[in-house]
A and B are shown apart, each in its own frame.
Chain A
Amino acid sequence: MKHTLEMKNIVKRFPGVVANDHASFTIQAGQIHALVGENGAGKSTLMQILYGFHSMDSGEIFIDGQLIRLGGPKDAIALGIGMVHQEFMLVPTFSVVENIVLGLGAGAGAMLDLARASSRIRDLSDRYGLALDPSAKVGALPIGVQQRVEILKLVYRDARLLILDEPTSVLTAGEKDRLFAVLRELGRSGCSIVIVTHKLNEIMELADRVTVMRDGRTLGTKSISSTSQQELAQLMVGRAVQLHAVKPNRDLGEPILRVEELCVADDSDVEKVHRVTLEVRAGEIFGIAGVDGNGQSELAEAILHLRKAKSGRIFLAGADVTRMSVGERRARGVAYVPADRRGVGSVTEMTVADNAVLGLQRRYRRGPFRSARDARHAADRLAERFGVRGAGIDSPAGKLSGGNLQKLIIGRELTCGACMLIVEQPTRGLDVGAVESLWKELLLARQEGKAVLLISTEMEELLNLSDRIAVLFNGRILGVFDAPFGSVDQIGLLMAGIAPSGPSSPWPRPGTRT
């Protein structure tokens, strides 16, 4: 059998983590091959190596049995490998045809022949059902159509292997069907297609074969017909979970946070949170499970008002805060540990002491003046209690390692006297000891009667800490589970979008794009 491409024993290390641990991957011509795994499984890295974006530390890549060397994206393109990234590489002010011929110049003075390019685009577009108008301005096109431009870019360059990274995360159901039709047509014409995704329900319908990755390793390749979603979900998510956190029982208090029919769109006006309703009570840790990109960040941002909700209401301790600004909500007791530590949660150019009072600057003062002394005391106390090490409180916070910076941020938000704490990916990048101590602090907050909304991609963390877990998929809550949580399989299935047989459908109805 002829193999189009084979990746063998790929190893790639980044500081502190092995992204690819002897991963291997094979794809044949005309196949649609899905590469699945959770966040951090290593699938994006593996594909970026294939695309020439990263260099591998060791391993080999063969095309039709020939060893190939990839110095950069240009080499990959020359070999017929192309990638459609999650973030499109398009120039919004250019037309479709201009975007497609960008970089194809034959010499500096070559005149553009947009007419000829346009007619070729129309041909290809008809052949694969892409339906593109070459003269349309890309910036004005809906996201689904922009994605088609990206695909056509590759087809125009005679790509034989197309890699798509989480292609459906920005599409409505109708656009998804469209995309699948295009991909099947491309497969029929002999292209190989790799789809990197975590959405098992989709690939069951589309792919021929699937490879599961976890923790940087490839766990094996199966043909779709010989496996099931449940099996894949288990491989993807399931692992023996050590339950070692002691959670004393608590009487739940009043509902502190109530979110009603909340709809939130992202920066491109794609609806990311669809009519979410939930309630978190005092003394409760409410976990939100789900793979990154299903609306978690937008939900958290909307609760703090870093992002305006399109519709719906938010209540804090009974009061309607939907129209209140960030400052007002913070004053009413909302605290937030964002996923982006360096970009949002801290100011890396300022000192650790200054960062310790971020958001609380009006609190630490004497009369009309700031009290730098009080701020430094607060920083000292935080550093001691939460083990922030690596830089003195007068050094720039940027010197702290990711883990220590996170401890500072969590410490600050936990001790600011808030009644509602939203925590997003709190232990990402932390060592085991730090994870454990942070878990203790979160449970302590719970003990103290705070309401905690815990958003995490780590199953272990959710299972250990949460009183309830809701699964967020495509912006919808697919199910809510109460502790004690039985097997993780149910949760894992929902995270991958596989609804248990029942009326709730994980997919939006066609045409629900805002």
Chain B
Amino acid sequence: MAAPGNPNVTKLFERRLTPADSPLAVAGTTALAVCVAMGIAAIFFHHYGASPVQAYFGLFHEPFGTLHGFGYALVRAAPLALVALGTIVSWRSGFYYLGFEGCFVIGAAAVGWMSLATPRGPHLGPLFLPLAILLSLTVGGLWAGLVAFVRVRLGGNEVLISLMSNYVARFFLQYLVSGPLRAPGSLPETSVLPHDTWLPFLVPGTRGHAGILIAVAAALLVWALLQKLPLGYELIVTGFNPAAARYAGIEVGRRMMLAGFFAGGLGALAGMVEVLGSQHRLMDGISGNMGFVGIIVALLSRLNPLATVPIALVYGGMSVGADAMQRRAAIPSSITFLLESLAILLVLASDIFRFYRLNFTFLTRFKWRVSPGEDSA
């Protein structure tokens, strides 16, 4: 048995050469980070006179304990999941696209226009939805594909270009709803879209609509693409190591542009789902920042397509719960944003702790020094 206290251990925290990456280490640091975030949020809850337990319960009860709330959770989750899927496809291919706000808006605008432009009378009927999906995939795909083209052929930086392109799309929508598509009246928004073009409601009595089904289908398709098709393999290799991809005969440029096309299509699909399922009209700000929150959902899903819908549900549900909390207990919903983002930041930061080893023997060293007489090993 080793003597208590190893005089060679001089530090409490010792830097390792490679990070500890056992599942236990990863889970441990992640859990620690989340707990710290919850603890900090609890301070805020306390200030409002709610016990943290009560608050956390209330946060989850509304969206997951009531039917009505669950419907809203579904509404919030669908577009988030779709944006997350777009993020996954593009980022895993090495194309760091951030223009989902723009794709969202473009998709919503295109579908909104199509909905308003459908002639009265004999409607397209059941054809409308497939056409709407096709349209949004195409416009979104072209929108993002353009950025991908610039990245691949001209070497432009897609992070900065896609961020800027969000503004162009937003202003375009502003123009549409203040001008050509504006409903009579003074508000910058279109008239309500014809009911036949709405997404069907899933659960009677709630606002939960079929958009979530589209999201689920998309998640399965993206999963199948990445895991089951040779194309997906090539995208993933391109994302990890473009040099190795070229070595393997993969046309890196083409794959990246394809990834951009898919990603843009998914982002636009999110816009379609929001406008046809929830808002039923076009207005400025229809994206509600979902183009960015969806990216966060993708990160929380660890870029795994199958996790996007559940995580989007949790995330969307939490925002529903936060709203309910605000209505009932006057606790500002912003605490939820605070909690969520803080948790993610701390999880990101916690990665660094896996680079350090906690030396417990260092602690016993003091014990040994203080009472040398007890050393009997």
Contact = CB atoms under 8 A, between A and B. Distances in A.
Contact present between A and B (CB < 8 A): yes
Interface stretch (A285-293, A309-317, A339-347): A339-347
Interface string A325-365: 11100110000101000011111111000100011011001
Contacts of B250: 327
Given A304-B247, A306-B247, A359-B249, A347 B229 contact: no
A433 interface: no
A354 B237 CA distance: 10
A14 interface: no
Contacts of B230: 361-362, 365, 370
A324 B243 CA distance: 18
Contacts, number: 61
Given A349-B241, A362-B230, 18 more contacts: A306-B247, A325-B251, A327-B249, A338-B247, A343-B243, A344-B241, A344-B247, A346-B244, A348-B241, A350-B236, A354-B233, A358-B237, A358-B247, A359-B249, A369-B228, A369-B229, A370-B228, A370-B232
5 contacts: A327-B249, A344-B241, A344-B247, A346-B244, A347-B240
B338 interface: no
Nearest to B234: A361
Interface string B236-277: 110011011011111100000000000000000000000000
Contact of B247 (A348, A359, A365): A359
A369 B228 CA distance: 5
Given A327-B251, A359-B248, A361-B248, A368 B237 contact: no
Contacts of B241: 343-344, 347-349
Interface residues of A, number: 27
A358 B248 contact: yes
Contacts of A358: 237, 244, 247-248
A394 B155 CA distance: 35
B233 A361 contact: yes
Contacts of A349: 240-241
A338 B236 CA distance: 21
Interface string B190-226: 0000000000000000000000000000000000000
B232 to A, nearest CB: 8
Contacts of A345: 244, 247
A330 B249 contact: yes
Interface in A277-319: 304, 306
B26 to A, nearest CB: 14
Contacts of A304: 247
Specify which of B227, B230, B233, B247 lies most central, judged by the most chain A CB atoms within 10 Å of its CB.
Answer: B247
Interface in A227-281: none
Nearest to A343: B243
B281 to A, nearest CB: 41
A345 B247 CA distance: 7
Contacts of A362: 230
Contacts of A347: 237, 240-241, 244
**A306, A344, A354: most-surrounded residue (chain B CB, <10 A):** A344
Nearest to A15: B17
A219 B249 CA distance: 46
Among B230, B243, B246, B251, residue most surrounded by chain A Cβ atoms (within 10 Å): B230
A127 B237 CA distance: 54
Contacts of A326: 246-249
A151 to B, nearest CB: 32
Contacts of A354: 233
Interface string B129-155: 000000000000000000000000000
Contacts of B251: 325, 327
